[in-house]
């Protein structure tokens, strides 16, 4: 899965334990989670614990006509034929699909907090998350711009980054959920040096080999020698040179942002550093929508997620595509297996 194909767990080893948070209960999260775990490959890849409303999950499974055996979660449970549900509570009995609210935001937050607590207690190995609503989260009083920052706070992580894995394309973001003006202001040499160093270390640990990195330019054609902006010459190129000369990192650029992601997708580089959110996600979703996975780098736990949002407009209609959720669960299991050195 790290390079587009699933790894095999060695015979006799226990599958990784993956907690799946169902996201905002008014979105497509419960639907795509249930559709994903019906898949035999997903079920074989890990021991699954769903974190969410048991009532909602059972009713959603019935609406979708899915035959799944559920059982309330217990740390002592050993029945591999059942899907375990850890229900944190907090969700009102009547929750209408497609309508975000403080109640659904609170329920989604409780799922995240519960999953992290399970990891801290040694009950799970990784977390795969369905999408949340940032607005609903804020309505519930949580002031995080997304999963990434929320999980970092819960795990006392100070150095972290959002990344996306799409087959051989791996993209790491300099900034995430902020305005484009603010994102441009964050393109500074020191910040890029820190991110390039962090990316090299993280990718080397995940892939278990030396890695080759590329850096995307900010401006069209990476400013084409200063014709379309000065950020490449003033901020990005100096950062690359510092990382190469002072830290021995195999990194190059800045490259034209309209071609570098395709080159990464073709395997020329192990990861591409992107200057801002949409520069990365437009490329990732255009090349691999439905199979790309969001990975939070730097956390002490493995966390993967889907590459899309809550899709309130189709929630409750049974038409959501579960492909990215399946990919996120499998990648979470793969990364656990890789970290334990049991890839075959």
Regarding whether 320 and 221 lie in a shared domain, the answer is no
Backbone angles phi, psi at 97, to 5 degrees: -65, 145
Q: Which structural domain, as residue segments, surrounds residue 245?
A: 158-298
Tokens 């595509």 locate to: 321
Regarding whether 324 and 274 lie in a shared domain, the answer is no
- Reply yes or no: is the peptide bond before residue 182 cis, omega within 30 of 0: no
Regarding whether 173 and 52 lie in a shared domain, the answer is no
**Residue that finishes a domain, picked among 264, 283, 298:** 298
- pLDDT, residue 44, reads 87
- pLDDT, residue 93, reads 75
- pLDDT, residue 208, reads 86
Q: Using CB atoms within 10 A of its CB, is residue 266 exposed (0-12), middle (13-18) or buried (19+)?
A: exposed
> What is the separation of C-alpha 275 from the centre of its chain, rounded to a whole number of angstroms?
18
Regarding whether 283 and 216 lie in a shared domain, the answer is yes
Regarding whether 218 and 172 lie in a shared domain, the answer is yes
- pLDDT, residue 281, reads 93
323 vs 3, 126, 253, CA distance in Å?
A: 17, 19, 33
Mean pLDDT computed over every residue of the chain:
90
> Which CATH number is 232's domain given?
3.40.718.10
pLDDT band, residue 324 (cuts 50/70/90): very high
- For residue range 63-106, what is the model confidence (pLDDT) as tens digits? 999 988 898 987 765 556 678 999 998 888 778 899 999 999 99
Regarding whether 136 and 14 lie in a shared domain, the answer is yes
Regarding whether 176 and 286 lie in a shared domain, the answer is yes
Number of domains present in the structure of the chain: 2
| C-alpha to C-alpha distance for 327 and 46, rounded to whole angstroms | 12
Regarding whether 133 and 14 lie in a shared domain, the answer is yes
Task: Please count the helices (runs of H) and the strands (runs of E) in the chain.
Answer: 13, 12
pLDDT band, residue 157 (cuts 50/70/90): very high
Regarding whether 332 and 226 lie in a shared domain, the answer is no
Regarding whether 190 and 50 lie in a shared domain, the answer is no
Q: Is the dihedral of CA 257, 263, 268, 273 positive or negative?
A: positive
Regarding whether 273 and 187 lie in a shared domain, the answer is yes
Mean pLDDT of 297-301: 94
| C-alpha to C-alpha distance for 296 and 151, rounded to whole angstroms | 9
Regarding whether 3 and 77 lie in a shared domain, the answer is yes
Mean pLDDT of 33-57: 93
- pTM, full prediction: 0.87
């Amino acid at each position: 899965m790290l390079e587009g194909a699933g790894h095999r767990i060695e015979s006799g080893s226990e599958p990784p334990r993956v907690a799946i948070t169902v996201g905002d209960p008014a979105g497509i999260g419960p639907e795509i989670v249930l559709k994903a775990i019906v898949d035999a490959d997903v079920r074989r890849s890990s021991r699954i614990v769903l974190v969410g409303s048991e009532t909602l999950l059972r009713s959603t499974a019935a609406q979708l006509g899915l035959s799944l055996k559920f059982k309330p979660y217990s740390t002592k449970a050993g029945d591999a034929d059942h899907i375990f549900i850890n229900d944190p509570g907090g969700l009102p009995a009547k929750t209408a699909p497609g309508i975000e609210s403080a109640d659904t935001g609170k329920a989604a937050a409780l799922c995240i907090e519960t999953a992290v607590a399970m990891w801290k207690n040694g009950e799970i190995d990784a977390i795969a998350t369905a999408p949340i609503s940032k607005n609903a989260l804020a309505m519930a009083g949580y002031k995080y711009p997304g999963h990434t920052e929320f999980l970092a706070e819960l795990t006392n992580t100070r150095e972290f980054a959002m990344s996306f894995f799409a087959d051989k394309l791996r993209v790491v973001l300099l900034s995430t959920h902020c305005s484009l003006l603010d994102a441009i202001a964050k393109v500074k040499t020191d910040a890029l040096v820190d991110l390039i160093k962090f990316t090299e270390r993280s990718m080397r640990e995940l892939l278990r080999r030396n890695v080759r990195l590329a850096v995307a330019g900010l401006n069209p054609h990476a400013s084409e020698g200063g014709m379309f902006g000065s950020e490449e010459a003033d901020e990005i190129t100096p950062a690359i040179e510092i990382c190469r000369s002072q830290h021995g990192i195999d990194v190059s650029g800045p490259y034209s942002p309209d071609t570098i992601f395709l080159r990464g997708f073709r395997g020329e580089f192990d990861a591409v550093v992107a200057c801002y959110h949409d520069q990365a996600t437009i490329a990732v979703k255009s090349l691999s929508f439905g199979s790309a996975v969001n990975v939070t780098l730097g956390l002490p736990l493995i966390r993967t997620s889907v590459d899309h949002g809550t899709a309130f407009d189709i929630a409750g209609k049974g038409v959501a595509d579960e492909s990215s959720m399946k990919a996120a669960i499998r990648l979470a299991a793969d990364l656990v297996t890789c970290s334990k050195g049991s890839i075959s």
